[in-house]
């Protein structure tokens, strides 16, 4: 060891992988790195991977199905020991993931699970978080609550819609299809508010699929000379990033534990790689927390 140090010896990674039949690398496919939530998941993944002697190859699908398929093929050619994936909004056909799984490469999903394929994963309680957000809006007096959602084939979007609908039912409010709008971006939230106003559809509460959409909605609401939260209260669904506290008024939001999700997903994957297999369809569900700020503060204490 002394001589190796003096000669600056570096182990041959290729030779080591041949001897141990492992490359000590895992692949990760993320929909969009730009979101704080996914960057915090990446940090959680790297935390566990590096402490266990693994390197991480990071790929981004940009929410595109064809990019995701190429990512999978690239990681397979790189002979990674396992893959972590949050599939894109465009993905309806999971054959590329099934093929990798059938080749014996362990796969674990995070954030967006594929329960029908019996692939283990780590998600948050999207239903519970959406219920809590909508319940909060109803409790502060909102009766016409808009829900800006994303494409329903994505499980997290379907679960958040389900939580929204259940909360309305709990308060004796009917689900108005005019108030459920597909809009999951800053621009989408902004345009949707103006469209609802042009159609003379009344609303006094907004629950958005994510914080960016909520902020877009807030900008549109203010452009219409409406007050937040007095005229329209707004709640997002996010990651406790600086975005929610930098906007004016500060944004109430359902927060997700991104770092913990990355930790848990990587631990699951390494267990499968080391044949300490979890149940084939094991799904870990992490708790969310509603943080009430000024955008929905009507006579209650904010954080």
The DSSP result for 18-48, as a single string, is HHHT---EEEEEES-TTSHHHHHHHHHHHHH
In a domain, 178, yes or no: yes
Residue 272, domain extent: 2-124+257-286
Q: Is 274 inside any structural domain? A: yes
Q: Which residue shows structure tokens 């959680």?
A: 44
301 located within any domain: no
Are residue 57 and residue 133 in the same domain, yes or no?
Answer: no
Whether residues 229 and 130 fall in one domain: yes
Please report, for the domain that includes residue 76, its CATH number: 3.40.50.2300
Q: What share of the chain is helix, strand, coil (3-state, %, to 5)?
A: 45, 15, 40
DSSP of 237-290, one letter per residue? EE---THHHHSSSPPEEEE--HHHHHHHHHHHHHHHHTT-PPPTT-EEEE--EE
Residue 233's closest CA among 303, 167, 143? 143
Q: What is the dihedral of CA 249, 250, 253, 257, to 10 degrees?
A: 160
Same domain, 103 and 137: no
pLDDT at 181: 97
Q: Is residue 86 part of a domain?
A: yes
User: Are 59 and 152 in a shared domain?
Assistant: no
Q: Give per-residue pLDDT as tens, 38-74.
A: 999 999 999 999 999 999 999 999 999 999 999 999 9
Q: Is 164 exposed, middle or buried (0-12, 13-18, 19+ CB in 10 A)?
A: buried
- Prediction pTM value: 0.87
Residue 220 sits in the same domain as residue 186: yes
Helix (H, G, I), strand (E, B) or coil at 177: helix
Q: Are strands 283-286 and 121-124 parallel, antiparallel or unpaired?
A: parallel
Same domain for 131 and 252, yes or no, is yes
Instruction: Check: CB of residue 96 under 8 Å from CB of residue 72.
Output: yes
40, 150: one domain: no
- Provide the pLDDT for residue 278: 53
302 domain-assigned: no
Q: Is residue 272 part of a domain?
A: yes
Do 225 and 178 share a structural domain? Answer: yes
Q: List pLDDT tens digits, range 98-111.
A: 999 999 999 999 99
d(CA 118, CA 283): 9
Residue 280, domain member (yes or no)? yes
Where are the alpha helices (H) located in the chain, listed in sequence order?
2-6, 13-20, 36-51, 65-77, 95-102, 126-139, 155-170, 186-198, 211-223, 243-246, 258-273
- 118 with 262, same domain: the answer is yes
User: Are 209 and 261 members of one domain?
Assistant: no
Q: Could you identify the residue written with the tokens 């699908």?
A: 61
Confirm whether 303 is domain-assigned.
Answer: no
Residues 198 and 277 in one domain: no
Tally of domains within the chain: 2
The position carrying tokens 């141990």 is 20
Per-residue pLDDT 10s for the chain (303 aa) are 888 777 777 766 555 555 556 899 999 999 998 888 899 999 999 999 999 999 999 999 999 999 999 999 999 999 999 999 999 999 999 999 999 999 999 999 999 988 777 889 999 999 999 999 999 999 999 999 999 999 877 889 999 999 999 999 999 999 999 999 999 899 999 999 999 999 999 999 999 999 999 999 999 999 999 999 999 999 999 877 778 889 999 999 999 999 999 999 999 999 999 886 655 668 899 999 999 999 999 765 444
Rounded to an integer, what distance in angstroms lies between the CA atom of residue 44 and that of residue 124?
Answer: 15
State whether 45 and 164 are in the same domain.
no
């Amino acid at each position: 060891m002394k001589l190796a140090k003096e000669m600056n010896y570096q182990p041959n990674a290729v030779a080591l992988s041949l001897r141990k039949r492992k490359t000590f690398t895992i692949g990760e496919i993320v929909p969009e790195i730009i979101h704080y939530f996914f960057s915090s998941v990446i940090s959680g993944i790297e935390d566990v991977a590096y402490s266990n002697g693994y390197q991480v190859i990071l790929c981004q699908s940009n929410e595109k199905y064809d990019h995701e398929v190429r990512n999978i093929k690239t990681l397979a050619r790189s002979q990674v020991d396992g893959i972590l994936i949050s599939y894109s909004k465009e993905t309806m056909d999971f054959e590329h993931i099934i093929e990798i799984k059938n080749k014996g490469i362990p796969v674990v999903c995070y954030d967006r699970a594929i329960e029908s394929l019996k692939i283990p994963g780590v998600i948050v309680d999207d239903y519970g978080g959406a219920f809590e957000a909508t319940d909060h809006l109803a409790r502060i007096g909102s009766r016409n609550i808009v829900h800006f959602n994303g494409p329903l084939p994505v499980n997290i979007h379907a679960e958040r819609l389900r939580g929204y609908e259940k909360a309305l039912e709990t308060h004796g409010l009917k689900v108005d299809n005019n108030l459920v709008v597909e809009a999951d971006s800053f621009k989408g939230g902004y345009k949707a508010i103006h469209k609802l106003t042009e159609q003379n559809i009344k609303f006094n509460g907004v629950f958005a699929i994510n914080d960016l959409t909520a902020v877009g909605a807030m900008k549109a609401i203010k452009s219409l000379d409406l007050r937040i939260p007095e005229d329209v209260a707004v709640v997002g669904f996010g990651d406790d990033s600086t975005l929610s506290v930098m906007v004016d008024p500060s944004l109430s939001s359902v927060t997700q534990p991104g770092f913990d999700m990355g930790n848990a997903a990587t631990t699951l994957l390494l267990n499968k790689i080391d044949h300490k297999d979890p149940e084939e369809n094991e799904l870990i569900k992490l708790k969310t927390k509603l943080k009430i700020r000024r955008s929905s503060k009507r006579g209650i204490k904010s954080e």
